């Protein structure tokens, strides 16, 4: 597959006389149809998100076919709104950024097709962005002083990655989940205790009423891979606990299960993140992805960072869950580094971070 990518450090297409660089960004990798306009990589002029959560809640999770159809219905509206709110027209835009992977292929294709059509019609450069690069880049929006290198813990519904951000667009993944993603574990446990979808925010809320020490759930380690994660054992332990209670006629306390489960996730994430900071002598740590909006996770990372003299960065919740502003930020840095994609850009559902296609 040739997507005609170029990555030239010196890019002659950038108009150096023009002061501001505006990126129109599009994100449709899962169940949010989103578009944003970002100025100079750090300033969000608009951030429009049309969420499909209510629709998927009916089925207890994201239904890919429904997601694609909804994206098609919403995409033009969302893009128009993003431009209007930014008081910008397509002529003002310097490049079109779009998530081209990883994600649901049908969902990604809607955003990629819209971005290609806009790029073609307006004769603007097209910049494909990795979804995780977007999540990491969300940290640049409100932390204007943050510059690489730093370590980032990416925890979302589909991904759990511990990443060294060496430079803009340069990543080394030092740990990843061997089974479920952190958000997936939240969603499955929430379903088991009858909270419904999406589980993360509901477990977060219910945990505040529970005892995190009520049940001792496992904190799994992966042998020989100190920065890798495993959450399937934890999820099974929760299900076993519920079965055991039912069999022995012991009262099930959802708030205690939620708080104890959340505490196990917090320990797994903080342990690896701070060990990585130590091993790689890095004193800057960021978190990203939908699960990074979890209040217990934010609290634990904040406290442990203070104790260890580490600068801790995290995006506001609206920039943690899927949005196009983060894609605009990532696209800006890719754009100024010379990344360009051709109109043969395709959706890559299993795109690896750092892989250039
Ligand atoms: O980043 P995101 O919007 O989509 C993916 O790229 O996967 O993450 C969605 C995930 C869901 O699993 C959701 O349950 C989880 O983020 N999430 C949370 C919280 N808010 C969203 N998990 C724990 N606590 C939260 N407050
Ligand atoms: Zn995401």
CATH number at residue 32: 3.30.420.40
Per-residue pLDDT of 320-351, as tens digits, reads 999 999 999 999 999 999 999 999 999 999 99
Ligand nearest to the CA of 296: 1
Cα 91 to ligand 1 centre (Å) = 35
Q: Which two tokens stand for residue 270?
A: 């903080």
In this structure, the answer to whether residues 231 and 294 fall within a common structural domain is yes
In this structure, the answer to whether residues 220 and 330 fall within a common structural domain is no
Ligand 1 proximity of 262 Cβ (cutoff 6 Å): no
Per-residue pLDDT of 30-78, as tens digits, reads 999 999 999 999 999 999 999 888 888 888 888 898 989 999 999 999 9
Per-residue pLDDT of 233-265, as tens digits, reads 999 999 999 999 999 999 999 999 999 999 999
In this structure, the answer to whether residues 276 and 163 fall within a common structural domain is yes
Within 10 angstroms of residue 199's Cβ, the number of other Cβ atoms is 25
In this structure, the answer to whether residues 104 and 164 fall within a common structural domain is no
In this structure, the answer to whether residues 120 and 153 fall within a common structural domain is no
In this structure, the answer to whether residues 228 and 261 fall within a common structural domain is yes
Q: Per-residue b/e over 7-17, b at no fewer than 16 CB within 10 Å?
A: eeeebeeeeee
State which residues form the domain around 120.
Answer: 22-138+323-336
Within-domain flag for 4: no
Task: Return the pLDDT at 222.
Answer: 93
In this structure, the answer to whether residues 293 and 206 fall within a common structural domain is yes
Ligand 1 proximity of 290 Cβ (cutoff 6 Å): yes
In this structure, the answer to whether residues 117 and 238 fall within a common structural domain is no
In this structure, the answer to whether residues 332 and 297 fall within a common structural domain is no
- Total tally of structural domains belonging to the chain: 2
Q: Assess whether pLDDT exceeds 80 at residue 28.
A: yes
- Closest residue by CA, ligand 1 atom 7: 157
Within-domain flag for 68: yes
Within-domain flag for 143: no
Per-residue pLDDT of 113-159, as tens digits, reads 999 999 999 999 999 999 999 999 999 999 999 999 999 999 999 99
Q: Quick one: average pLDDT of 284-302?
A: 98
Enter the pTM of the model.
0.93
Per-residue pLDDT of 199-215, as tens digits, reads 999 999 999 999 999 99
In the chain, % helix, strand, coil (3-state, to 5) comes to 45, 20, 35
In this structure, the answer to whether residues 85 and 158 fall within a common structural domain is no
In this structure, the answer to whether residues 279 and 329 fall within a common structural domain is no
Within-domain flag for 177: yes
In this structure, the answer to whether residues 109 and 170 fall within a common structural domain is no
């Amino acid at each position: 597959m040739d997507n005609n990518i170029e990555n030239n450090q010196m890019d002659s297409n950038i108009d150096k006389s023009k002061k501001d660089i505006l990126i129109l960004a599009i994100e449709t990798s899962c169940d949010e149809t989103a578009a944003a306009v970002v100025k100079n990589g750090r300033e969000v002029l608009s951030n429009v998100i049309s969420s499909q959560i209510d629709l998927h809640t009916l089925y207890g999770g994201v239904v890919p076919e429904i997601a694609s159809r909804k994206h098609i219905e919403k995409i033009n509206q969302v893009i128009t709104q993003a431009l209007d709110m930014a008081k910008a027209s397509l002529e003002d835009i310097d490049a079109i950024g779009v998530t081209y992977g990883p994600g649901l292929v049908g969902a990604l294709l809607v955003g990629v097709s819209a971005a290609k059509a806009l790029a073609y019609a307006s004769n603007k450069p097209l910049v494909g962005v990795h979804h995780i690069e977007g999540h990491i880049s969300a940290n640049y929006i409100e932390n204007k002083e943050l510059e690489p290198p730093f370590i980032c813990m990416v925890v979302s519904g589909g991904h759990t990655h511990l990443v060294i951000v060496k430079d803009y667009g340069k990543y080394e993944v030092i740990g990843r989940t061997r089974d479920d993603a952190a958000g997936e574990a939240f969603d499955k446990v929430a379903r088991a205790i009858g909270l419904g979808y999406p589980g993360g925010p509901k477990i977060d809320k219910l945990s505040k009423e529970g005892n995190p020490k009520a049940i001792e759930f496992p904190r799994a380690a992966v042998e020989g891979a100190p920065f890798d994660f495993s959450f399937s054992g934890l999820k099974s332990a929760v299900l076993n606990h519920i079965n055991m209670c039912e069999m022995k006629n012991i009262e099930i306390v959802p708030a205690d299960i939620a708080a104890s489960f959340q505490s196990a996730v917090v320990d797994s994430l903080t342990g690896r993140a701070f060990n990585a900071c130590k091993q790689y002598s890095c004193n800057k740590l960021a978190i990203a992805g939908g699960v990074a909006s979890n209040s217990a996770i934010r609290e634990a990372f904040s406290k442990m960072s203070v104790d260890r003299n580490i600068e801790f960065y995290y995006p506001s919740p609206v920039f943690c869950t899927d949005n196009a502003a983060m894609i605009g930020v990532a696209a800006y840095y890719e754009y100024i580094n010379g990344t360009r994609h051709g109109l043969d850009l395709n959706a890559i559902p299993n795109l690896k971070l750092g892989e250039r296609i």
